[in-house]
Amino acid sequence: MVTVARDEPMLEIRGLRVDLQTRKGPLRVLDDISLEVGRSEVLGVVGESGAGKSMTGAAVNGLLPAAVAIAGGEIRVNGRRVDNLPADDLRKMRGREVGTIFQDPMTSLNPLFRVGDQLVETMRAHLPMSRDAAWRRGVELLTEVGIAEPEQRMRHYPHQFSGGMRQRVVIALALCANPSLIIADEPTTALDVSVQSQILRLLKRLSAEHGTAIMLITHDMGVIAEMADRVAVLYAGRIAEVGPVGEVLQRPGHPYTEGLMGSIPKMGSGVPRLTQISGSMPRLGEVVPDSCPFVNRCNVSLAVCSKARPPDFEFGASTVACWRHEAAQCRAASNE
């Protein structure tokens, strides 16, 4: 379990286990996920498709698919446990305490209603506001997220906005009830590079100004480098490594993280070939519980890797689930 000392974290996940129910029995989707996100902090959650990133966010939001359920652990938002809330309380929590930004803004906006009406409806569902007050607040939010002529834009429909502008509207929707936590699930995937940078800077600024914690889910290490304060690397439903973003990116401690970093082109590096991680991520049910899930793709594995699940070892300011660090600590101790 990863534990990071922090005063009053906005989000605490402890030992989260999530199962997919099948006709042959449950399949483990997330296995002992433990994370924290503090006030004004951006935690990047990174990994390949299928690593469990979006499923972690869905578990926090109470938006797991019908056949998927939490099998163990706890999720706390502002100190209150939310993983066992009734459906009505979950609906109240979403938007009020936890805002969500999805990767495709058109799936978050109703094409049949004006943007202003959607902002007003969301605010009035969670806050004691009159329609006029909510409309004025909507204008302020559109101004804050960088949309020109906000009063006029409040009366426009989603199709009248560009992709980048729609994503700004989605950010305004996520902020309109003043949540303490925002889950941003691939928020810039559908945008071009220049708009991506604008959206990321906007999120970073709003987080600092509002004190909002952000859980940023992405597969893009460049986005992590630009946005995150800390990063959690997920692999096959488990946490491989957690630590400060600068340390993890510059000195990764897990072979999987090393492979991810080695696959990124670097200007002027003189490296003739990028690093390639052989094989593919195991499917659900293929991971042996008492082993490292990365063992079959790892080129530096030890004998113990296929026989026992690695605990979390300290590696600088990071924690890494890799048996190599126990071996390194034993060698260091024997040399003293």
Report the sign of the C-alpha dihedral through residues 68, 10, 165, 112, in that order. positive
C-alpha to C-alpha distance for 317 and 130, rounded to whole angstroms: 48
The whole-angstrom separation of Cα 84 and Cα 62 is 9
Q: Under a CB-based contact definition with an 8 Å cutoff, are residues 42 and 35 in contact?
A: no
> Do residues 282 and 295 touch, judged by C-beta distance below 8 A?
no
pLDDT for 5 equals 39
**Residue 253 — very low, low, confident or very high, per pLDDT cuts 50/70/90?**
very high
Q: pLDDT averaged over the chain?
A: 89
The pLDDT of residue 313 is 95
Burial class of 171 by CB neighbour count within 10 A (0 to 12, 13 to 18, 19+): buried
Q: How far apart are CA 256 and CA 322, in angstroms?
A: 10
Is the pLDDT confidence value at 4 over 50?
no
Spatial separation of the C-alpha atoms in residues 13 and 33, rounded to whole Å: 7
How far is residue 245's CA from residue 233's CA, in Å, rounded to a whole number? 11
- So what's the pLDDT on residue 276? 77
- pLDDT tens-digit profile of 5-22? 346 799 999 999 999 999
pLDDT at 327 over 70: no
Pick 335 or 229 by higher pLDDT.
229
Q: Are 63 and 87 in contact (CB under 8 A)?
A: no
